[in-house]
Structure 1
Amino acid sequence: MREPVELRRKRILAVVHARGAVKVSALATELDVSAVTLRRDVEELARAGMLRRGHGVVRPVGDEAGPAAPVPAARSGEPAGEAAPVALVVPERHSYLYETLHGARTALEEAGARIALHIAPQAAGAERPQVERALAAGVRGLLIAPRWRSAAGEEADYDWLAEVGVPTVLMERRPRPGSALHAVDTVCSDHWYGIHLAVDHLVSLGHRRLVLAARNDSPTARSIRAAFADIATARPEVEDWSVVLSSPNAGPGEPGSREEVPDLAALLRERGVTGAVLHGDEDALMLVQRLAESGIRVPRDCSVVAYDDVVAALGSTALTAVAPPRAEIGRAAAELLLHRLAHPAGTTGPVRRTELLPRLEVRGSTRELPAPAN
């Protein structure tokens, strides 16, 4: 099927605005368009004032020709004028970040940017060798979502990651304020707001005794735990709350610390809990099964809100869930990186620490608490 003219020209503009300057011959090859068609499109776009052309090179409007706006140099073995790739570094087997990766990849491909994907193994410090390998290969920018299983492991990466030497955007990660990474672009979910949605939903249904069963092996998990304690303490309607580990493999938490995994059914009965927030989805589905085996039915005996919404809707009881905007995080991070790459250093404005708000998907695992019998 022939590509519509409008779509092809949008792709041309996306590449030109991402790169700053591109040779017409390289652009035709990259977009798999004939040189004749590409030149005709460029002429029409230039006539409409949407880009500038001259001497075999196209540039964004306002990007003056000359030494200050060179075509990116090709590495050995690359076609002349072809820009270096953008590195995407993500942890292996991380379902939560898969959609973030997909969102970033889609935005980069739409802009015509080449991608070098690096998968970091499940080991402490695994991201650094991947980043060093990408830099040695000549990437021009970095999108990264480190695993950071503990706060100590996170701190250990701050100094070197702040000095990589290419434009960098952190995805779904918010470094400690005042750290070396405070002045690095970040795009992430507002997990405080996500927990606010969960607690507010349960409280609105009459639940006053709550528990958070959560992981403790990622920045998201640590943010969720802190937010739940903050919000539950501040809500006068909440009579009792607690935070526990969701499963034996949901740690390790901090080095030297140890956190027991309670019997959730026994905890609910002991503390009279009627509302639970469970992080993440797979742990939530497993915990709901265990509650049923112990005679606690969801939502009749306990309302449940999952956090992640990757597979929460697939349980025998579809779980109400907080859904962070995972794909949108990746897309926004990629667009921010492309903005940095398209402008000379120092002209792209201040560092951005962007947060996108999660949403609440209400399903069958929550219900209003019945009024007590007289």
Structure 2
Amino acid sequence: MRESAGVRRERIVGVVRARGEVRVSDLAAELDVSVVTLRRDVEELAREGRVRRGHGVVRSLDPAGGKETAPLTAGDAVGLIVPEHHSYLFEAVRGARDVLEAAGVRMAMHIAGHVPGAERAMARQALERGARGLLIAPRWRTADSPALDEEWLAGLTVPAVLMERRPAPGSPLHAMDSVRSDHWYGAHLALEHLIGLGHRRIVLAARDDSPTARTLRAAFAEIAEARPEVEDWTVVLSSRGAAPVPPAEGTGGSAPLVDLGTVLRERRATAAVLHADVDALMLVQQLQDAGVKVPEECSVVAYDDVVAALGSTPLTAVSPPKEEIGRAAAELLLRRLDRVRGAAPEAVRRLELLPELKVRGSAIPAK
């Protein structure tokens, strides 16, 4: 049985109050009515002084100094969107969950597949189910990926915080709240540790399919080039599968890791920084199978510290503050959601948290 116009209009008011602004076409689809019917409802509600009409949108009557919402109540939900098969970010999820549960807010987790537009579809689904705000960690597998998400992320009608992502300066997302690790500092920690142990020829074997990987590769090159102690350095891909565009089916989808032993011999390197942890453990095993002893013949520092401590040789690792990223992002989102109506807009926050080095003995003084 189709709901009455009065009930439908109350739902419209509730949605608009929660989200601040909604597209008429989106709201019509959500309520399963025609755009013409929805526009008539909006016109009537505007005459009653309950909503504001805009060009193709309907807005809350609250002051437009940011994405304001009604005060949080017990049982309200926040959507959290992360890419599938990403154990690094799942640690951030734990931190966010702890903060949200302590505040009486339910966390609704959405896993985005590795296909274009997956995060946008998950965000739409979260909002349709009543999410009051969003925590989002887009996959951004290639350097061009952020540009594809700029329009819809910038147009969200609820408060949102990016996790472990930093939009390009001057992009439409530059003024979006974000929390991430300072991966430049992480690269600095790894190199400083190895240089302090007397290593002068160092290899970075890293992934190249995420913002973290790209930042780490660029930072390593910048720092190594600037340090006069470093006689030689190089950056290689940890495996073909770690590239921005994975190998096509039938061409070796489970591509082997780089032959690190050969790279070490050619460069006469005595140390390596390996990103990420799973690749690091596999590369260390590869070296050992080839007769290269770790750390006696090659000192190793891993990056991510998700499973670095679990190998037969526990690896010294740069450990980004993964759970703290989630906590800080959730706290920032709650701050936005709890903002007093009519209060002056708060400045956008772009937080960076510093990684730390966990020393476990896989790096020793150079001989």
User: Same fold per TM (> 0.5)?
Assistant: yes
> Which residue identity lines up with residue 150 of structure 2 in the other structure?
Y
Which whole-Å CA distance do the structure 2 matches of 1:146 and 1:221 have between them?
A: 14
**SS of alignment partner, residue 82 of structure 2:** strand
Alignment of 1:1-374 (within 5 A): 72=70, 84-252=76-244, 262-343=258-339, 344=341, 347-370=344-367
Query: Given that residues 245 and 260 in structure 1 are in contact (C-alpha distance below 8 angstroms), is that contact kept between their aligned partners in structure 2?
Result: no
- Gap change, CA 1:348 and 1:109, over 3 Å in 2: farther
1:116 and 1:241, CA in 2 relative to 1: closer, same or farther beyond 3 A? same
Letter of the 1:237 counterpart: E
Say whether the 8 Å CA contact 2:74–2:104 is kept in structure 1: no
Offset at residue 262 of structure 1 (A): 3.9
How far is the alpha carbon of 1:181 from its aligned partner? 0.7
Contact 1:162 1:184 (C-alpha < 8 Å) held by counterparts: yes
Change over 3 Å in CA distance of 1:159–1:260 after alignment to 2:
farther
Amino acid at match of 1:288: V
Shift of 1:271: 0.8
2:280 and 2:69 map into 1 onto residues whose CA distance is 51
Query: Residue 351 of structure 1 aligns to a residue in which SS?
Result: coil
CA distance in 2, matches of 1:266, 1:311: 25
Counterpart amino acid of residue 364 in structure 2:
R
Q: Which runs of 5 or more residues in structure 2 are unaligned?
A: 1-17, 19-60, 248-254
Q: 1:241 to 1:119 in 2, by over 3 A?
A: same
Secondary structure at the counterpart of residue 249 of structure 1 = helix
Deviation at 1:341, TM superposition (A): 0.6
Question: CA separation of 1:136/1:159 partners in 2, compared to 1, >3 Å: closer, same or farther?
Answer: same
CA distance in 1, matches of 2:214, 2:188: 15
Shift in Å at residue 311 of structure 1? 0.4
Are residues 260 and 345 of structure 1, via their aligned partners in 2, closer, same or farther at CA, if it must alter by over 3 Å? farther
Indicate how the Cα distance of structure 1 residues 68 and 221 shifts in structure 2: closer, same or farther if over 3 A, else same.
closer
| TM-superposition CA deviations, 1:168-205 (whole Å, max 9, x none) | 10011111111111000000000000000000000000
Partner-residue secondary structure (3-state), 1:296: coil
Aligned mates of 1:338, 1:268 — CA distance in 2: 48
Report SS of the residue matched to 1:179.
coil
Q: Which runs of 5+ in 1 are unaligned?
A: 1-18, 20-66, 75-80
Instruction: Tell me how far apart the structure 2 counterparts of residues 253 and 100 of structure 1 sit (CA, whole Å).
Output: 26
Alpha-carbon offset, residue 73 of structure 1: 8.8
Task: Note if contact 2:81-2:138 (Cα within 8 Å) is conserved in structure 1.
Answer: yes
Q: 1:304·1:320 contact (CA, 8 Å) conserved in 2?
A: yes
SS at match of 1:183: coil
1:84–1:140 CA contact under 8 A, matched in 2 = yes
Matched residues in 1 for 2:272 and 2:359: separation? 14
Mapped contact 1:87–1:117 kept (Cα < 8 A) = yes
> What RMSD over aligned residues (CA atoms) do the two structures have, in Å?
2.6
**Which range moves more in the overlay, 329-338 or 154-163?**
154-163
Matches of 1:187 and 1:345 in 2, distance apart?
Answer: 26
